[in-house]
Amino acid sequence: MSVKNMIGAYGPWAATLAGKGPAALSFRQPRFTSLAAWKRQAVAKVQEVIAEPETVWRLRVRVERRCEYDGLHLEQLSWQLPYGARTEALFLKPAHAKGPLPAVLALHDHGGQKYFGVRKITRTAEAQHPLMRRHQDECYGGAAWANEAARRGYAVLVHDAFAFASRRVRYAEVDDVLVGERADRDPESPDEIAAYNGWAAEHEHIVAKSLFCAGTTWPGVFLHEDRWALDYLCSRRDVDASRVACGGLSGGGLRTVMLAGLDPRIRAAFPVGFMSTWRDFLLHKCHTHTWMLYVPLLPEFLDFPEILGLRVPLPTFVLNDTEDPLYSLPGMQAADRMLRQVYRKAGVAENYRCGFYPGGHKFDLDMQRDAFAWLDRVMNT
């Protein structure tokens, strides 16, 4: 009797469509002997299928407020992209820091909470929204990890991702057939936020299908907007643009895979709680993931971890949780083997690291400690 899977009798057939060996543009294919030639071909194909929007736009960033909090200099920022609401962001660095600093583009998680973005991984005052205090306790060991990275000497930028917080889809802008009588009455109320997050979860497939109709993908839009944020971060005089990292948990890990795999300005990458294989998603775990993951046709050319592998030989640290319900442990282990093979074949095995930590879906204090210690080392060598 076959093992049960997400699509029943069709599962084993679907799992064979990409073949048994490495995908067509995997660096693990024996025919690829030149790293540079393989990378040109593979990156071009991923850019093609991810369908990142093409936008010519001059980003103008507005400083809304400057302040100091808990030893850090904070700047609340906003910018207008050529579509949607203004993006809100937070820049953090040690107070009174001098000279260009190494930097981190800190990518917030999904967490089933589209009402929030930047606030998930930052803290700007002692008073916090109770839902964010709980979120940081559950996912981050009680820490605002972007603040902790800044406290270690990094310039850190966090921005609201597409469809989150300041970039979220508003009831008033959506066709009545999808909204009914919903309206923002007391938007910071926990009950109103829970209702919005529930509606936004049901709205995800509408957004994804609409983006497909527009000729793009959700990962393509993420990549596009994260590149805008990276452009701004690298342009700052107080940032050393040759030493910029990115990382994040869950949805932030997904965005790290895409941005770090496709933008060579990311010197160091640390995706957390987002690593497996297309086969694992297909057969066992697609129900635990949102529409934000999927890029039609991409599995024909690269397995999921190999998107991140496009950054070889640059330093990469993948952090997994062994009891993470979003992935199977064999899927995470298979992804680790793939990335090790890619880095080994490129002759830079020492530039890849993978950690497995006990517990569920999280980026806790032990994981943060290891990630930051690794970051200190690779950003200063």
Per-residue pLDDT tens for 212-251? 999 999 999 999 999 999 999 999 999 999 999 999 999 9
The segments of the chain whose pLDDT lies below 70 read: 1-2
Is residue 271 domain-resident?
no
Count the domains in the chain. Answer: 1
pLDDT digits (tens, 9 = 90+) for 15-66: 998 778 899 999 999 999 999 999 999 999 999 999 999 888 888 999 999 9
Residue 300 lies in a domain: no
User: In which domain, by residue range, is 121 found?
Assistant: 61-210
Q: Is the dihedral of CA 302, 202, 271, 158 positive or negative?
A: positive
Q: Is residue 94 part of a domain?
A: yes
DSSP of 316-355:
EEEEEETT-TTS-HHHHHHHHHHHHHHHHHTT-GGGEEEE
Question: Using an 8 Å Cβ cutoff, are 118 and 108 in contact?
Answer: yes
Q: Give the pLDDT confidence score for residue 20 in this predicted structure.
A: 81
Which residues does 87 contact at the CB level (< 8 Å), separation at least 6?
78, 79, 80, 81, 159, 160, 166, 167, 225, 229
Q: Is residue 277 assigned to a domain? A: no
Residue 2: the pLDDT is: 63
Tokens 């998107």, residue?
307
Among 367, 107, 98, 130, smallest CA distance to 219 is for 107
Least Cα distance to 272 among 292, 291, 246 occurs for: 246
Pairing of strands 87-94, 101-106: unpaired
What integer pLDDT is reported at residue 174 of this predicted model?
A: 94
Beta partners for residue 72, in sequence order: 69, 94
Domain assignment present for residue 188? The answer is yes
Q: Does the residue 231 lie in any domain?
A: no
In whole angstroms, how far apart are CA 334 and each of 17, 300, 380? Answer: 18, 17, 31
Q: What is the torsional sign of CA 354, 16, 52, 198?
A: negative
pLDDT at 18: 76
The first and second tokens of residue 328, run together, are 């199977």
Query: Does residue 286 form part of some domain?
Result: no
Name the helix (H) or strand (E) containing 212: helix 190-213
Residue 97 is predicted with a pLDDT of 95
Alpha-carbon distances, residue 359 vs 111, 117, 183, 197, 210 (angstroms):
17, 24, 38, 25, 36
Q: What is the pLDDT of residue 155?
A: 98
Cβ neighbors of 240 (< 8 A, separation 6 or more) are 100, 101, 102, 103
